[in-house]
Structure 1
Amino acid sequence: MAVNVVSEIPGINMEDLKLKGFKVHELPASADLPVSRGRRDFYKMGLVTGDMTVYYGDRILEIKDTVLFFVNPNVPHSVVRRSKHTTGYSCLFTETFITSSERTGILKNSPLFHIGDAPVIPLNSEQALFMTGIFQKMLAVHSGDYHYKGELIRSCIELIIHEALRIQPSQNISQFKNAATRITHLFMDLLERQFPIERSAEPLRLRTAQDFALSLSVHTNYLNRSVKEVTGKPTSVHIAERITAEAKALLQHTDWSVADIAYALGFEYPTYFNNYFKRVTGTTPKSIRK
């Protein structure tokens, strides 16, 4: 099934983006931009001052004043402006642009691009001024003829990520104080790596505590005990919450049938999925889609 995608963004030449792998632009100060939805094939990061609502996966984020924002291309998202007046900068870059850098780690593995972290970071006036300088530098470099402009732009992206991490440390960074913390981190990472679901024909592989324990080469009881000790919630609850979060995203942002979504999430029959979803969320898949 195809995912709903908006192929055009005002002010952006999509073919140029795909060819060069990077684009930076200043946001129009006043414009009636359409609501953009869907999973795209590029990362997005920006500096914006305005009044808007961001729908990111199954979360709703309110933006006021000046913020940094980071968008993972695999997370369904949309932006609704409440005011026509918005200022700032935005840059987009493809997977190829990232992986062509020797410093792939900070870009690809940054917690800022993990689904579990908030994609919006509020800035004070000093921080906003510093970030404005970096985006203006990228604009100047992008329009110039410097031979190593790609490397310089990657350095700017890396600096923005480092500064953002310094301002708001990632929720995903764990200090392994003991074995229970370490195995819990490995479990959470393994759970998250299964998402987002891109194709309905490839069902979820790990769905139970036993599945994860086998993959991590530990006893199920040890995994359950460790996760409950560190997080306060059972392993099964973490799994159920993540599966239903992905189900909501697929129901809201794709045209897949409920049967296709059920199969993609590892349920043999739609009825099993409906019962599971209602037990965890208190509502039905059809009501979410409406």
Structure 2
Amino acid sequence: MQLHKEVAPPDAGDAAIRPRRTGEAQPITMVYDSPSELPPGTTPVSRLYYEDWNIKVVDREKSGCDNYLSPNRRDFYKIMLMTSGTGCQTVGKDNYLIDERTILFLHPNEIIRWRNAPETVGGGVFCMFKKRYLDQHPSLKLVIDRYRFFTEKKILRLSEESTRMIHQLLTQMKAEAASGDPLAEEAMQAYVQLVLIESLKGTTYTSTGPITHEYRHVYNFFELLEKETNLANLDKPIRIRTAQEYAQKLNLNPSYLNGLVKKHIGQPISTLIKNRLVEESKALLIQTDWSLQQISQIIGFADQPNFSQFFKKYVGITPNEFRRSPISPAYED
């Protein structure tokens, strides 16, 4: 089997990835790095953004990975080894058909989407490490920068021997993490370097195929949404808050853009904007010591009471309560 590029003609739609009807695979869901409630059978939401960890290894089968789209900020790099199964990975504006013996290097800043081809998840291992972990290990950062992993080298096709070796290294990393040894994280960064070097041996690195014309508009919406929210601060508050304003920025009819987003993602633009504002509010509450009034203004509210009412409506607790305890017992399930 080979690493393929997925090419669809302009205006061909994206029928293979549309949310399916009853009896078919679950639709694409939004993966945010924060607690959330999703109906049974949809993608489990990662809470990685709020957890106190530097590096971890997870079995792909046990993670329950389903179809997902992750448009918002992540503060971790992700290496994914596929040992079985098939799926389509969209990274930025490029599509790949992924099968066994493939390794993916996903940058925190990329807008990514994953779709399982069959309904089975397939086998493999994830390795994720935070940005701060990379800063703490300059030798690891040097290897990543020198060989352009996560930038030019994003998806590599492996030989059978390299697949076995990398799987063994990741398994050893997982055992190291479970050991509780105070030097475990030091050892794990050495394993990551070995995984990177092994990935270069006898691999196939192919150019990518373009995304569909329709999904390009969807991608541009998420790119603008991320740009508007991720860099928000005291000097640059969020100013674009409605579907009409986003459509105007993208030179599209609001109804047309909303229809495309709802077709491919399964949710209207208003819901996605609301979710993103909630997530950015959580990040600011945790990462800064700014007052609620300041955060209210950054998120785009005229006054703090309206912001607090908005936050409690969608999170279930007040901003102050969340700031004191972002990982509540309810989030641990």
Q: Could you state the TM-score of these two structures normalised by the residue count of structure 2?
A: 0.49
Q: Measure, in 2, the Cα distance between the counterparts of 1:50 and 1:89.
A: 12
Q: Tell me which residue corresponds to 2:69.
A: 36
Output aligned runs, 1:123-202, within 5 Å: 123-168=158-203
Asked whether 1:97 is paired with 2:123, we answer: no
Q: Extract unaligned runs of 5+ from structure 2.
A: 1-29, 35-42, 207-215, 229-245, 261-333
Q: CA deviation at 1:128?
A: 1.1
Q: CA deviation at 1:251?
A: 2.3
Q: Tell me which residue corresponds to 1:61.
A: 96
Q: Compared with structure 1, are the counterparts of its residues 12 and 122 closer, same or farther at alpha carbon in structure 2 (3 Å cutoff)?
A: same
Q: Compared with structure 1, are the counterparts of its residues 274 and 68 closer, same or farther at alpha carbon in structure 2 (3 Å cutoff)?
A: closer
Q: Compared with structure 1, are the counterparts of its residues 100 and 64 closer, same or farther at alpha carbon in structure 2 (3 Å cutoff)?
A: same
Q: How many residues align?
A: 193
- Conserved 8 A contact 1:251-1:285: no
| 3-state SS, counterpart of residue 142 of structure 1 | helix
Q: Compared with structure 1, are the counterparts of its residues 67 and 58 closer, same or farther at alpha carbon in structure 2 (3 Å cutoff)?
A: same
| 3-state SS, counterpart of residue 19 of structure 1 | coil
Q: Which amino acid aligns with 2:87?
A: M
| 3-state SS, counterpart of residue 138 of structure 2 | coil
Q: Could you state the TM-score of these two structures normalised by the residue count of structure 1?
A: 0.55
Q: CA deviation at 1:91?
A: 1.0
Q: CA deviation at 1:167?
A: 3.4
Asked whether 1:26 is paired with 2:59, we answer: yes
Q: Measure, in 1, the Cα distance between the counterparts of 2:192 and 2:124.
A: 16
Q: CA deviation at 1:119?
A: 1.7
Q: Measure, in 2, the Cα distance between the counterparts of 1:247 and 1:63.
A: 23
Q: Tell me which residue corresponds to 1:6.
A: 32
| 3-state SS, counterpart of residue 91 of structure 1 | strand
Q: Tell me which residue corresponds to 2:299.
A: none
- Conserved 8 A contact 1:111-1:170: no
Asked whether 1:107 is paired with 2:144, we answer: yes
Q: Compared with structure 1, are the counterparts of its residues 256 and 106 closer, same or farther at alpha carbon in structure 2 (3 Å cutoff)?
A: closer
Output aligned runs, 1:253-268, within 5 Å: 253-255=223-225
**Deviations for 1:137-183, whole angstroms, at most 9, x for unmatched residues?**
10100000223111110011111112223334889xxxxxxxxxxxx
Q: Measure, in 1, the Cα distance between the counterparts of 2:157 and 2:194.
A: 17
Q: Measure, in 2, the Cα distance between the counterparts of 1:166 and 1:32.
A: 28
**Deviations for 1:7-65, whole angstroms, at most 9, x for unmatched residues?**
258496526x7422111111126946241312411100021121101111011111122
| 3-state SS, counterpart of residue 28 of structure 1 | helix
Q: After TM superposition, where is structure 1 displaced by more than 6 Å over at least 4 residues in a row?
A: 284-289
Q: Measure, in 1, the Cα distance between the counterparts of 2:187 and 2:193.
A: 10
Q: Which amino acid aligns with 1:25?
A: V
- Conserved 8 A contact 1:24-1:138: yes
Q: Compared with structure 1, are the counterparts of its residues 100 and 30 closer, same or farther at alpha carbon in structure 2 (3 Å cutoff)?
A: closer
- Conserved 8 A contact 1:252-1:288: no
**Deviations for 1:228-256, whole angstroms, at most 9, x for unmatched residues?**
xxxxxxxxxxxxxxxxxx99743245537
- Conserved 8 A contact 1:53-1:79: yes
Q: Measure, in 1, the Cα distance between the counterparts of 2:166 and 2:45.
A: 22
Q: CA deviation at 1:132?
A: 0.9
Q: Which amino acid aligns with 2:132?
A: T
**Deviations for 1:208-231, whole angstroms, at most 9, x for unmatched residues?**
xxxxxxxxxxxxxxxxxxxxxxxx
| 3-state SS, counterpart of residue 112 of structure 1 | coil
Asked whether 1:251 is paired with 2:247, we answer: no
